[in-house]
Chains A and B, each alone.
Chain A
Amino acid sequence: MANIIVFAILAAVILCAAIFSVMTKSIMRSVTALLFVLFAIAGLYFLLDYTFIGTAQLSIYAGGMTMIYIFAIQLISKRRLQGIKEKIDWKRMTIAGLVALTGCLTVIIAQLRTAFFDKFCSVPDVEVPMERIGETLMGSEKYQYVLPFEFISLFLLACIIGGLVVSRNQKEDK
């Protein structure tokens, strides 16, 4: 019962913040709403007893990425443009709304009609033990994730270097 209430609150926060994020004109407000969404999603993870992921979500997403976004906004947005009103492109909005609505309905109705969700089984409210996560993450047997782990570390390195290369100041070459 308590789970459901918590879930409802979190869901409400998520949806309202998300809608606000996509509809607002100011980019800073959009990012702030995104921050709220991320926090709420971390809350959902904690609700699901996935504390590890919840922590990761908080530290990576809510902490790191939002900072990146804010820095980027400061680098890019022109202060002089902040007074300019964007014209609302109604045509585009209608199309987007239609597409989104159709898609949403399709997905929801399609999934709810399958028998997929009858597999629901109730689980004890115990979080997944950390040892098990650690073993699975670092293990090299079947169904264990050391290879993706190593790979993602390389991947992150590549992205760092790529990001630096792409965004460096080109005038230094001349």
Chain B
Amino acid sequence: MTFEYTIGILLLPLLSFLVIGLIDYFRGKNGWSHKAAGLMGTCSLGIVTILCYITAFQYFGMDRLADGTYATVVPYNTTWLPLGALHFDLGILLDPISVMMLIVISTVSLMVHIYSFGYMHGEKGFQRYYAFLSLFTFSMLGLVLATNIFQMYMFWELVGVSSYLLIGFYYPLAAAVHASKKAFIVTRFADMFFLIGILIFGFYTQSFNFSFTGTEIIGAAANTFTNCNADKAFLAGGMILPTALVLMFIGGAGKSAMFPLHIWLPDAMEGPTPVSALIHAATMVVAGVFQIARMFPLWIDYAPNQLSIVVVVGAFTAFYAAAIACAQSDIKRVLAFSTISQIAFMMVALGVCLPGHDGEAYIDNHASLGYMASMFHLFTHAMFKACLFLGAGCIIHAVHSNEMSAMGGLRKYMPITHATFLISCLAIAGIPFFSGFSSKDEIISACFAYSPICGWWMTGVAAMTAFYMFRLYYGIFWGTENKELHAHHTPHEAPWTMTFPLIFLSCVTVGVGIFTTLGGFLHWDWASFGSFVTASGTAYTIHFDPQIAITSTLIAIISICLATYIFKGEEQPIADKMYSLAPNLHRWAYKRFYMDEVYQFVTHKILFRYVSVPVQWIDEHIINGFIDFTAWGANAGGESIRTTQDGDVRSYAVWFITGVIAITLLLICL
């Protein structure tokens, strides 16, 4: 079985980026129309999607190895920069999680490409938009197919660049420029830690690979390892590898918008909505989760205690984001905070995994359920969150505003959007027979296996999730209609290019949900996600823990009912009463607990005043001063000997003879 064709998965989006970006022929009347650019991008992505599906079928259809795992296939791995013992490689690595990510990325990207035909219709930067979308797809695919951490870092940065370009797509708007800068700077700051982690890792293990087979490192005992710098490793008390991994996690936390590096994601909603769907819901923001999943064997073997950091950060972020989402009025902001919260779920799921004890392979204990649950939730979340964002885009397209005050009662005008939005909301709330149920359920049961506090905390956050999502749903589609606004411009259903992706994604959501729910009840092993993607690679069947399943479903239904009761009607007396009881709380939540103001304070008042100003003074006076001094010196030197050129040939002769005599004396004396 050769996977040589997988190179097309990387090359095609890159080629389409270059072609669409650089060709000046999409000029409308004098050349091809803009739509041709979109068509080119979509077709190339369609081919990429087909290639990804073929890869997935071929990969998962392969026979398993003797120990029950899927083989890791590396069709390409070329040395790009040899530096002595270390070398930077570029290649393609096929592995259950990377193949799963291929499917996610290509599907969502294709849907976004099709959707953008309708959404970006008539937009001036149509060609540029599709070029950047192709660049992003290339970067994200390269990230998941990376064979070593350094290649992942390269594509990580490329993804950041594409995100910057796409958030700042409407660059005439100051808010968009500000948001794109913020996104890039915050993620870049986090990536500094990522890079330091990579460097420490590379220095001590003398390689950038994801596992230790084939490198010089031999694990002497848990948490220690020996290599050529063994004395350094021992001096650090065996904490080198955990330090490197935690630093890399900080980088991932920045990209995945964990607290306190989450500030960029709500502002990134300034970009076009399909971009938010693709980048900031389904693919880029899960890069941090993917990074931990990729390095997971190292985490489990060498840094199991540090996983608790991941849990704490994830759990707090989930709660924080859910609290803020309950008070937002901009629908895209609600969805953004919801994304932060759900990604925190995935992080927590990864963090609650425990290594096996007493010689038990860790896959067989209930604790590594978290890994599989996290990946499964990544998959399902990508689908329904993309559907939610694209639906929000249809709504925004219809009412020309992001605020919930311009919406209300839209179910009459936009039936398809209504139905798909409802399906996705049910999925995210965790109702059975929708995909979110199985994935969220598994996360919660993994949390309960780790510690009951964690389990109840995440259940509480799940309840809040259901609550604010349905608050959003009722606020858009039920409630009071904004008659004045609708009188000017009656909202209408979106064109088929925009509704087709919605339908497709919700069908996936429902389909996966039915299969996994039934499969869990009826123990259909073939239909479970765990048969494909698990921590150790061997198949793992999901056992439905009925206690947790029923509890979580009940809690979800209670939250939905609460939301219905409060927000469904035309008047919302209870909401107003709640608001009047705790107006401060509402304001704080609305202002995102003032984190942006804290950052502004720290940067402007502390960093700029006490760090930047002295540095600027040094630069201006000392460094510039030195250069000016050399210039002055040269000038003064020249001025001082200028007077020897007095036009009188006799004085020239004097200088000449003096020089000769001086040189003669010099030569004699030496």
A–B contact with Cβ pairs below 8 Å: the answer is yes
Query: Are B665 and A106 within 8 A (Cβ)?
Result: yes
Chain B positions 650 through 670: 1 when the CB is less than 8 Å from some CB of chain A, otherwise 0 = 100010011011001100100
Shortest distance between the CB of A26 and any CB in chain B (Å): 20
Query: Are A106 and B650 within 8 A (Cβ)?
Result: no
Query: In A77-99, which residues have CB < 8 Å from any B CB?
Result: 92, 95-96, 99
Report if A96-B654 is in contact (Cβ < 8 Å); known contacts: A102-B661, A103-B661: yes
Query: In B18-42, which residues have CB < 8 Å from any A CB?
Result: none
Query: Are A110 and B664 within 8 A (Cβ)?
Result: yes
Majority secondary structure, B binding face: helix
Shortest distance between the CB of A114 and any CB in chain B (Å): 10
Complexed CA–CA distance, A99 and B654 (Å): 7
Majority secondary structure, A binding face: helix
**In the complex, what residue of chain B is closest to A95 when comparing beta carbons?**
B654
Query: In B226-278, which residues have CB < 8 Å from any A CB?
Result: none
Residues in B with CB closer than 8 Å to A99 are: 654, 657-658, 661
State how many residues of chain B have any CB contact under 8 Å with chain A.
9
Complexed CA–CA distance, A92 and B657 (Å): 14
Query: Are B664 and A106 within 8 A (Cβ)?
Result: yes
Complexed CA–CA distance, A106 and B660 (Å): 11
**In the complex, what residue of chain A is closest to B660 when comparing beta carbons?**
A103
Query: Are B657 and A103 within 8 A (Cβ)?
Result: yes
Complexed CA–CA distance, A129 and B494 (Å): 122
Query: In B518-554, which residues have CB < 8 Å from any A CB?
Result: none
Residues in B with CB closer than 8 Å to A110 are: 664, 668
Query: Are A92 and B665 within 8 A (Cβ)?
Result: no
Query: In B621-670, which residues have CB < 8 Å from any A CB?
Result: 650, 654, 657-658, 660-661, 664-665, 668
Complexed CA–CA distance, A102 and B661 (Å): 8
Complexed CA–CA distance, A107 and B660 (Å): 11
Complexed CA–CA distance, A99 and B652 (Å): 13
Chain B positions 546 through 567: 1 when the CB is less than 8 Å from some CB of chain A, otherwise 0 = 0000000000000000000000
Which of B650, B657, B661 lies at the interface centre, i.e. has the most chain A CB atoms within 10 A of its CB? B661
**In the complex, what residue of chain A is closest to B657 when comparing beta carbons?**
A99
Shortest distance between the CB of A102 and any CB in chain B (Å): 6
**In the complex, what residue of chain B is closest to A100 when comparing beta carbons?**
B657
Residues in B with CB closer than 8 Å to A96 are: 654
Complexed CA–CA distance, A95 and B651 (Å): 10
**In the complex, what residue of chain A is closest to B650 when comparing beta carbons?**
A92
**In the complex, what residue of chain A is closest to B648 when comparing beta carbons?**
A92
**In the complex, what residue of chain B is closest to A103 when comparing beta carbons?**
B661
Interface CB pairs A-B, < 8 A, 18: A92-B650, A95-B654, A96-B654, A99-B654, A99-B657, A99-B658, A99-B661, A102-B661, A103-B657, A103-B660, A103-B661, A106-B661, A106-B664, A106-B665, A106-B668, A107-B664, A110-B664, A110-B668
* Top 6 A-B residue pairs of the complex, sorted by shortest distance between their CB atoms: A103-B661, A106-B661, A110-B668, A99-B657, A99-B654, A99-B658
